[in-house]
Amino acid sequence: MLQTIRERKSLQLLGLMLPGGFWLILFFALPLALIFAISFMSRDDLSRPALPLTLANYQQTFDPLYINLFLFSVGLSLLTTLITLLIAFPVALFMARLPKRWRNIMTLLVMIPFWTNFLVRTYALQFLMRANGPINTLLLSVGLIDEPAQMLSTPFAVLVGLVYGELPFMILPLYTSLEKFDWSMIEAAQDLGANALKTLAHVMLPLTAPGILAGSILVFVPSVGSYITVELMGGGKINMIGRVIAQQFGQSSNWPFGSAISLLLMIVVTLAALVYFRIGRGERGAV
Amino acid sequence: MSSETSTTIVVMGDREEIFPQEPAERPRLRPGRLALVSITLLTFAFLYVPIAILVVFSFNDARTGAVWQGFTLDWYARLFRNERLLDAALRSLIIASVSTAGSVVIGTMTALGMERYRFRSKTFWDGLLYMPVIVPEIVAGVSLLLFFAAASIERGFLTLAVSHIAFSMPFVYLTVRARLADFDLSIEEAAKDLGADEWVTFRRVTLPLLMPGIVSGALLAFTLSVDDFIISFFVTGRGWDTLPIYIWSALKRGVTPEVNAVSAMLLLFSATLVVASLILQRRRAY
């Protein structure tokens, strides 16, 4: 009898997990494995992936052009992560100290951009910063500038776009960890003679580290692979990994090379995730 | 914490800001509260001003430029006469409905499996379910393109639907699992004591109690699907351009105020779904 209950339980479990497992393996894991395989292939006359196997695609990525591209993308994404962290921390801190009713309203205000259309939000920012957009029109009409300022198509524009797009993804996890924060810890630190800076560095930051890490990964990963932001804010003049991948699968039709870059991007992202889980686990062990 | 803090209403002009006032012995937070307030207000302005301006200019009676020429609803009227746009919107709704149905069923089943059973390969499943969060969208998009090409599956409705289910399902899973974690198991036991078998207990007790979580997950899945651009861009085929793809190609051709109008409507649509979803999530499970 006991045996049959156990058997029935595991059958139920199998039935429950099978569709999800099937779907994620077939439409997430397997395609990624395919990227790996195709990154070692060459192209036939119709630019379709073909045998023989080759390392040429990876050799091509060692071209200074692509090394710089990777460095630029990673650098800009790290900068985005840092800036969003610096903005989001005080915002989350303020939110966490509000009365409950106001906390709920503010959370809702962060959640709306979190979930709404990324393309449209980025376009709204681009519209604002256009040569004939509202900012330039306003500045021209009050006479602060004589001709429209060129704000788009610069690395700065892409940075602003990334910060704008990813900010909600930093605020939310920070807020979640600060909301649970035990404020008497601050009191204890100050009673023991710590000044504001020491309290921040030795009490607040370590205790909110899980939120900081989660936010950083949620910002860094989409930034380093971003396509919409580079395309809209960079105006075709700025290039990042995501845009190059899209080009290889679009006009250039060089799938094996596009796969090789995708795989390198996956390695960057996986390293970031590993750092996250490593430090994350260390933190949990320490507390 | 909030129960022990009193609140003061500071009137600034005609708007009110409420700050928690700490009792005197509470440690003061430095850098001062004023700095925190200003940073917060500026940040929310930064998040919302571009959207607000876009919406305002969707009512501007001018073909180009950003000089206010007067109020018009003309751009919205044009949207409803634009066949290509209406078709794209309809396709987005069809895909989102199919994707929501699929991801709700699969996500709920996975949540039940992960929360209610003990088994050894859980870490593996956790990893698998986190993949859509970790894998950059562009890589997910091109890898699906490769996969459908390799399997000789013609791109269109089917490829869009299965891909949307793949990236929405983990979000339904997370929402439903959060609700399951709050679940009071004694209610199920009571049902069984009263003679309900497992299936009846599930249908009559578990499922109705999970409903707010499921509906909330469904709303998120619907928003994710309607909003998705990158993955759809790579897995779509001839005749299956969705609304975001239509907007993208309209942006590439050069902006018309019509794009502002359709963008404003899309923002309003997904914001409504998000607010509805969050309100449902707040409701407690009893």
Q: How confident is the model at residue B271 (pLDDT cuts 50, 70, 90)?
A: confident
Indicate whether B173 and B272 sit together in one domain. Answer: yes
Indicate whether B159 and B30 sit together in one domain. Answer: no
Q: Which of B39, B72, B105 is the last residue of a domain?
A: B72
* A184 has pLDDT over 80: no
Indicate whether B109 and B54 sit together in one domain. Answer: no
The pLDDT value recorded for residue A33 is 93
Q: How confident is the model at residue A148 (pLDDT cuts 50, 70, 90)?
A: confident
Interchain contact A91–B (C-beta under 8 A): yes
CATH assignment of the domain containing B246: 1.10.3720.10
- Cβ–Cβ < 8 Å for A273, A217: yes
- What does the alpha-carbon distance between residue B281 and residue B279 come to, in Å, rounded to a whole number? 5
Out of B36, B251, B260, name the one closest to residue A93 (CB): B36
Task: Note the pLDDT tens digit of each residue in A125-135.
Answer: 998 888 778 88
Interchain contact A16–B (C-beta under 8 A): yes
Residue A200, token pair as written in the block: 């921040």
Q: Which of B43, B72, B101 is the last residue of a domain?
A: B72
Out of B30, B223, B263, name the one closest to residue A123 (CB): B263
Min Cα separation B124/chain A (Å): 10
The pLDDT value recorded for residue B4 is 34
Range(s) of the domain holding residue B103:
77-282
The architecture (CATH level 2) of A67-286 comes to Orthogonal Bundle (1.10)
- Structural domain spans, chain A: 67-286
The pLDDT value recorded for residue A48 is 74
Out of B26, B37, B274, name the one closest to residue A115 (CB): B274
The pLDDT value recorded for residue B33 is 78
- Best B139, B192, B234 member to test A by mutation, with max A CBs in 10 Å, is B139
Indicate whether B81 and B110 sit together in one domain. Answer: yes
Indicate whether B146 and B263 sit together in one domain. Answer: yes
Average pLDDT rounded to a whole number, residues B181-210: 83
The pLDDT value recorded for residue A3 is 63
The most confident of the ranges A62-71, B111-120, B204-213 is: A62-71
* Residue among B104, B226, B223 nearest B175 (CA): B104
The pLDDT value recorded for residue A280 is 60
Indicate whether B126 and B8 sit together in one domain. Answer: no
Q: Which residues of B touch A270 (CB under 8 A)?
A: 134
Count CB atoms within 10 A of the CB of residue A275. Answer: 14
- What does the alpha-carbon distance between residue A175 and residue A126 come to, in Å, rounded to a whole number? 28
- Which sign, positive or negative, has the C-alpha torsion A278, A281, A107, B226? positive
Average pLDDT rounded to a whole number, residues A142-167: 88
The pLDDT value recorded for residue B17 is 40
Indicate whether B152 and B166 sit together in one domain. Answer: yes
> Are the Cβ atoms of A269 and B136 closer than 8 angstroms?
yes
The pLDDT value recorded for residue B208 is 86
- What does the alpha-carbon distance between residue A14 and residue B125 come to, in Å, rounded to a whole number? 13
Interchain contact A211–B (C-beta under 8 A): no
Task: Note the pLDDT tens digit of each residue in A243-271.
Answer: 999 998 887 788 889 999 999 999 998 88
The pLDDT value recorded for residue B283 is 66
* B13 has pLDDT over 80: no
Indicate whether B138 and B220 sit together in one domain. Answer: yes
Cis peptide before B257 (omega within 30 of 0): no
What's the predicted TM-score (pTM) here? 0.83
Q: Which of B53, B72, B91 is the last residue of a domain?
A: B72
> Are the Cβ atoms of A115 and B220 closer than 8 angstroms?
yes
Q: Which residues of A touch B27 (CB under 8 A)?
A: 183, 186-187, 190
Average pLDDT rounded to a whole number, residues A19-24: 90
* Residue among A163, A178, A159, A160 nearest A107 (CA): A178
Count: domains in chain B: 2
> Are the Cβ atoms of B140 and A31 closer than 8 angstroms?
yes
Out of A20, A94, A113, name the one closest to residue B106 (CB): A20
> Are the Cβ atoms of B142 and A225 closer than 8 angstroms?
no
